[in-house]
Amino acid sequence: MQQFLQQLINGLSLGSIYALIALGYTMVYGIINLINFAHGDIYMLGAYIGFALTTFFHLGFFPALIISMLLCAILGIIIEKGAYKPIRNSTRIAALITAISVSLFLEYGTMYFVNAETRTFPQVLASKSIKLFNGGVVLNTTDIYIILITVVLMVLLQYVIHKTKTGKAMRAVAMDKEAAQYMGISVDNTVSVTFAIGSALAGAAGVLVGVYYNSINPLMGVVPGLKAFIAAVIGGIGIIPGAVFGGYFLGMTETMVSAYGGSLYKDGVAFAILIIILLIKPNGLLGRNVKEKV
């Protein structure tokens, strides 16, 4: 039981990171039906920005986190304006190829400037252990920070989506782009804001991962990006609560598989879950079946 509780805590930390990245996937898909495969690389750049701010500018954790989010938001807008906006009305295969191209450009462009070696993220948070159940369960303060920051960001996102004019515009564009445009909503600005918010959340996840694992590299966004995509599909891509549910579900599943002897197969399990979900419930566990008139 103690081992189960310990892995549950670890799963919450990992799931928080997946959820933050998955939110960017699901928001962009909900607005313009685009799978932004470069999203995992924005998460990687967020980690490098946090690394530079804490190492060279000696900033603390929270200033580095906020600045990383802001810079990643700007980067998201630049990518949307430069790469995705010109092909918005093109075929889906063109959008997919563009997303993969942007992903490779960010990965190997970063590698060109910072080299391919793994860097050690500075310890900007004092790591203390809290022992529970007579020492059988250890709760690190880093886990608490990650979970609390994720919850705060998700609450803020829900507030923006449901209580602000920008959020109403995003929901209107997601529901019917043409009707929203007729009502005076700028689709271009709404899409840019969506990319900015999603990229900011990915940047926050990058900093949190750097603090959690203490190491970063230019290809660190590939696998977590794919896992976050799986999380978004599990919950129902295009649905914000679904991305959160999928992130925590996948994080806990991975940690449980690793804890009980299947660490070599945790990635395979994640992709197996994706295949099963697509076969049984293609719209995701929280998604609804949409009927189309023929």
Question: Tens digit of pLDDT for each residue in 55-73?
Answer: 999 999 999 999 999 999 9
Q: Are 68 and 207 spatial neighbours (Cβ–Cβ below 8 Å)?
A: yes
Residue 163 belongs to some domain of the structure = yes
Domain with 144 in it:
19-221
Comparison of pLDDT for 95 and 262, the residue scoring more: 95
Query: Of 12, 7, 23, 9, which is closest to residue 204 (Cα–Cα)?
Result: 23
In a domain, 146, yes or no: yes
CA distances from 244 to 22, 99, 287 (A): 7, 23, 13
Per residue in 192-210, pLDDT (tens digit) is: 999 999 999 999 999 999 9
Instruction: Give CA–CA dist 79/190, Å, rounded.
Output: 15
Interatomic CA distance for residues 25 and 240, integer angstroms: 10
Q: What is the pLDDT of residue 43?
A: 96
Contact call for residues 60 and 124 (beta carbons, < 8 A) = yes
Distances (CA, A) of 202 to 7, 74, 264, 286: 24, 12, 26, 22
- How confident is the model over 203-233, as pLDDT tens digits? 999 999 999 888 999 999 999 999 999 999 9
Q: Where do the DSSP E strands lie in the chain?
A: 119-120, 129-132, 137-140, 215-216
Question: Is residue 286 assigned to a domain?
Answer: no
Q: What is the mean pLDDT of the chain?
A: 90
Question: Which pLDDT does position 191 carry in this prediction?
Answer: 94
- Looking at residue 108, its pLDDT comes to 95
The pLDDT assigned to 291 comes to 54
Pairing mode, strands 215-216 and 119-120: antiparallel
- CA 31 to chain centroid: 16
Q: How many domains does the chain have?
A: 1
pLDDT of residue 3: 79
Exposed e or buried b per residue across 139-157, where buried means at least 16 C-beta atoms within 10 angstroms of its C-beta: ebebbbbbbebbeebbeeb
Tens of pLDDT, residue by residue over 73-108, are: 999 999 999 999 999 888 889 998 999 999 999 999
Please report where in the chains the tokens 């928080």 appear, as a residue: 16
- The closest of 231, 238, 244 to 274, measured between CA atoms, is 231
- 11 found inside a domain: no
Q: Establish if 156 belongs to a structural domain.
A: yes
Domain membership of residue 183 (yes or no) is yes
